[in-house]
């Protein structure tokens, strides 16, 4: 698959960063956007509002032409999860059926509780995989060293595509648990909101480490209940992504939690943001999944109580801290 024609769908921070990184590594890549006016602005300015201060190379192709989709040999999907179903329906007739699709977006559809791979399968026969790991977009765009997990049901396909995507600054490891990787990538955004609350309340590093560890157990329970593998929580897509997102204010979800802890309402925070904070809709889905499968997930439930039940943060934290099992991993 050398010199494979790669097309990245979505001109947000992550899609743009991946395009820059792959282009700088000499890959045959182009960036595709749905909104013509936004694409034209990117072409003219060579800088994205989602990645301020980072220059897009003049030689990187940015397009709105659907004909580019038809000739792609590998599609990377970075469109926001909650907008993906509509976009998939619009573009499905242009997607070659022998073209593998790599989902790079993290989240679960609010209405159906499904990951994007399942949405693709409803309308397309393509092989669909998932790329996920501890990757902040700005660092990827700057070619700082990073790594990620690439999961396809067909492990050999995952290996082949990993060779296409990897380069000196970006390692890609093949894996075969697609649902586990998708769930880990989505659910860590919920935990990141909790991590932000811990930071905003100045509860300390001990508390943050405890939160991340206990949350990883909750994520593993949901992964297993939905047919994934427990070991997935130990991958770059699992504990790697969870640790990064929960330990840095650069995370949109963590920063949202910090703002909540400082007394701002959810509405006030979201109204000031350009980028989508996927942890908010995913919290509702995660809470519903935990209830449906009778999974003990107190951290996820606590975040739901704060965001959706509108319970006071201090009351939720008091209840969370006052409940404990005698044995770990229960």
pLDDT 10s digits, 95-131: 999 999 999 999 999 999 999 999 999 989 999 999 9
**275 falls in which pLDDT band (50, 70, 90)?**
confident
Query: Would you say residue 318 has pLDDT above 70?
Result: yes
Q: What is the CATH number of domain 184-321?
A: 1.10.1040.10
**226 falls in which pLDDT band (50, 70, 90)?**
very high
Q: Sheet of 101-103: strands edge to edge?
A: 61-63, 29-32, 6-9, 74-77, 101-103, 128-132, 146-151, 170-175
Domain with CATH 1.10.1040.10 in the chain: 184-321
% of the chain at pLDDT higher than 90: 94
- DSSP lists the bridge partners of residue 31 as 8, 62
User: What number is the average pLDDT over the span 137-153?
Assistant: 98
Q: What is the pLDDT of residue 273?
A: 87
Q: What is the pLDDT of residue 328?
A: 74
pLDDT 10s digits, 237-258: 999 999 999 999 999 999 999 9
User: What number is the average pLDDT over the span 188-194?
Assistant: 98
Cα(110)–Cα(254) distance, rounded to whole angstroms? Answer: 20
Q: What is the CATH number of domain 6-176?
A: 3.40.50.720
Cα(279)–Cα(74) distance, rounded to whole angstroms? Answer: 28
Q: What is the pLDDT of residue 2?
A: 62
Domain with CATH 3.40.50.720 in the chain: 6-176
pLDDT 10s digits, 152-171: 999 999 999 999 999 999 99
**Cα 88 to Cα 85, 115, 238, 272, distances in angstroms:** 5, 13, 26, 28
Question: Comparing C-alpha atoms, which of 234, 229, 235, 242 is closest to residue 191?
Answer: 242
Residues 168, 188, 201, 292: which is the catalytic one?
A: 188
- DSSP lists the bridge partners of residue 167 as 170
Instruction: Lowest mean pLDDT of 226-230, 271-275, 297-301, name the range.
Output: 271-275
Show the 3-state SS of the chain. CCCCCEEEECCCHHHHHHHHHHHHCCCCEEEECCCHHHHHHHHHHCECCCCCCCECCCCCEEECCCHHHHCCCEEEECCCHHHHHHHHHHHHHHCCCCCCEEECCCCCCCCCCCCHHHHHHHHCCCCEEEEECCCCHHHHHCCCCEEEEEECCCHHHHHHHHHHHCECCEEEEEECCHHHHHHHHHHHHHHHHHHHHHHHCCCCHHHHHHHHHHHHHHHHHHHHHCCCCHHHHHCHHHHHHHHHHHCCCCCHHHHHHHHHHCCCCHHHHHCCCCCCCCHHHHHHHHHHHHHHCCCCCHHHHHHHHHHCCCCCHHHHHHHHHCCCCCCCCC
Active site residue 188: yes
pTM for the model:
0.94
pLDDT 10s digits, 57-68: 999 999 999 999
User: What number is the average pLDDT over the span 12-41?
Assistant: 96
């Amino acid at each position: 698959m050398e010199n494979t024609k790669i097309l990245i769908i979505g001109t947000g921070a992550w899609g743009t960063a991946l395009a820059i990184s792959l282009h700088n590594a000499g890959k045959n890549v182009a960036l595709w956007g749905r909104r013509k006016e936004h694409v034209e602005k990117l072409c003219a300015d060579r800088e994205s509002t989602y990645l301020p201060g980072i220059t897009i190379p003049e030689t990187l192709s940015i397009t709105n032409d659907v004909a580019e989709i038809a000739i792609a040999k590998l599609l990377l999907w970075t469109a926001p999860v909650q907008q993906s179903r509509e976009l998939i329906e619009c573009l499905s007739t242009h997607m070659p059926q022998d073209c593998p699709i790599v989902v790079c977006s993290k989240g679960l559809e609010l209405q159906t509780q499904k990951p994007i791979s399942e949405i693709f399968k409803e309308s397309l026969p393509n092989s669909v995989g998932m790329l996920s790991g501890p990757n902040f977009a700005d660092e990827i765009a700057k070619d700082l060293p990073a790594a990620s997990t690439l999961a396809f049901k067909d492990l050999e396909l995952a290996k082949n595509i990993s060779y296409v995507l990897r380069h000196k600054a970006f390692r890609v490891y093949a894996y075969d648990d697609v649902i586990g990787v998708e769930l880990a990538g989505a659910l860590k955004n919920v935990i990141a909101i909790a991590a932000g609350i811990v930071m905003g309340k100045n509860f300390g590093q001990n508390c943050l480490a405890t939160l991340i560890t206990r949350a990883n157990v909750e994520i593993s329970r949901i992964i297993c209940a939905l047919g994934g593998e427990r070991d997935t929580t130990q991958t770059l897509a699992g504990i790697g992504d969870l640790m990064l997102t929960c330990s840095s204010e650069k995370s949109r979800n963590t920063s949202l939690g910090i703002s909540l802890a400082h007394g701002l309402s959810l509405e006030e925070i979201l109204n000031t943001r350009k980028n989508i904070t996927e942890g908010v809709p995913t919290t509702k889905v995660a809470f519903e999944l935990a209830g449906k499968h009778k999974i003990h997930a107190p951290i996820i439930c606590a975040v739901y109580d704060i965001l959706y039940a509108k319970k006071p943060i201090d009351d939720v934290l008091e209840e969370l801290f006052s409940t404990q099992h005698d044995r770990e991993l229960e």
